[in-house]
Amino acid sequence: MKHKDFSPESLAISGGHDPGSANNSIKPPIYQTSTFKFNTAEEGKAFFEKAKGDAPLEERNASLIYTRLNHPNAITAEFRLAQLDGAEDAAFFESGMAAISTGILTFCHAGDLILMSSPLYGGTDTFIKKHAVQFGIEWAEFEPGASAEDIRQLIKAHPKAGRLKMIYLETPANPTLSLTDIEMIKDLRDELAPEAIIAVDNTYMGPVFQKPLAHGADLNLYSATKYIGGHSDIIAGAASGSEKVIREVKKKRAILGNTASPFTSWLLSRSMETIGLRMEKQASNAQQLAEFLNGHSKVRATHYLGLLDSSDPLYPLFKKQNTSGGAMIAFEVDGGQQEAFRFLNALNLAHLAISLGSTETLVSHPFTMSSSNMDEADRLKNGITPALIRVSVGIENLQDLIKDFDQALNSI
């Protein structure tokens, strides 16, 4: 049987590694080397030509030259992520922001325009609004819930409408969980800017609960530190898409020098073997914790996709794009920053820390932490208030989590 005969879940366990290439080791070894030997000068020349040209992916992967460009551990990890995402190829980076910034700089140049959804992760928002502009890249932003006509008019009215090169989406958004219709955006792109790349930050849903490429995205981006890594022991980023798109991303990655290291790539391969099990348990815990929070007297509002019912206008979009409510919750305590801090300081089991997607439950305060580098007006207009708490639900015993959140809320 060939790879195409097996499911992505199975290929994420052992795909991308041939035991026969490593003394029959079931797990891939860590190739802790900076460079690779050529058998002949002619082979070295051919490898360089394949690495920088348009050779098929298999030939490029076999043309090992230098670890900044490619290495066996990256090949294994990228094969597995591509299977999970339904992509032709994938690329791993040394951080999520490395993946995001490399993706943007691959396709956007001086004088170009990025159209972005709102809100975005604070680091992405800052990169586009305060750093990409230093390269002459302009941006326009649409609000949560904007209609196709709203976005069409926003694009048409912009002086750089003819230079729209990327539409950057984050859905569900961090930390508010607002949704953007990827297929609607694709239709607008095809109508107004056929050459523009649609990039989607899929960090919140991971490769298990959402497949942006299947809905029309060209570039699927992640902080792989989160669910793909899943254990709070890796800093990494990822991109996936067509072979053509990822080839260009990898060229830029090689020049910027942010390819994931062999050890990071090895850890990512390990983690993808259990991503389905972890995320299903996390989502199950999140659903029940969100239901508890939604009924608590000290909670003013609970945001969790699994709480949407069929009467909600967002429900059809949620069911179209997502296969689960995921494991991210945002809720507002009854009060403001003082009450939010009192809750956070009273937790015993959940950890007060930024990041998300790990086996342990992580709780943070976006207004003063992960979104704090956004302008305050942008935070408030997107519902990132001083009362908002972000929760990344882990795999602990559910009743223990509920007890911990209950006692912390009752301290307010």
- In this predicted model, what pLDDT tens digit does every residue of 5-21 receive, in sequence order? 788 878 877 788 887 88
140 is written with which tokens?
A: 């326009």
Strands 299-303 and 237-241: unpaired
CATH 3.40.950.10 fits domain 276-409? no
Amino acid at 138: E
Average pLDDT of the residues in 291-308: 98
What percent of the chain stands above pLDDT 90?
A: 90
Average pLDDT of the residues in 73-94: 97
Parse the chain into domains and list their residue ranges: 67-272, 276-409
Question: Is residue 3 very low, low, confident or very high in pLDDT (cuts 50, 70, 90)?
Answer: low
* 362-389 pLDDT tens trace: 999 999 998 998 889 989 998 999 999 9
In angstroms, the CA 357 to CA 272 distance is: 13
User: Mean pLDDT, the chain, as a whole number?
Assistant: 95
User: Across-strand partners of 141?
Assistant: 116
Question: Is residue 41 very low, low, confident or very high in pLDDT (cuts 50, 70, 90)?
Answer: very high
* 320-337 pLDDT tens trace: 999 999 999 999 999 999
Amino acid at 226: K
pLDDT of amino acid 1: 41
Amino acid at 144: P
Question: Is residue 245 very low, low, confident or very high in pLDDT (cuts 50, 70, 90)?
Answer: very high
- Comparing CA positions, the residue from 116, 106, 170 lying closest to residue 139 is 116
What's the alpha-carbon Rg for the chain, to the nearest Å? Answer: 22
Answer yes or no: are the C-beta atoms of 213 and 85 closer than 8 Å: yes
Average pLDDT of the residues in 42-52: 92
Domain at 67-272, CATH from 3.40.50.300, 3.30.70.360, 3.40.640.10, 3.40.80.10: 3.40.640.10
pLDDT for residue 23 is more than 80: no
In angstroms, the CA 289 to CA 408 distance is: 14
Residues 6+ apart with CB under 8 A from 134: none
pLDDT of amino acid 14: 74
pLDDT of amino acid 12: 77
pLDDT of amino acid 10: 80
What residue ranges in 107-218 does DSSP mark as E strands? 113-116, 138-141, 164-170, 197-201
Lowest mean pLDDT among 22-31, 165-174, 354-363: 22-31
User: Across-strand partners of 116?
Assistant: 141, 168
pLDDT for residue 26 is more than 70: yes
Average pLDDT of the residues in 27-50: 95
Answer yes or no: are the C-beta atoms of 138 and 146 closer than 8 Å: no
pLDDT for residue 152 is more than 50: yes
Three-state DSSP at 106 gives helix
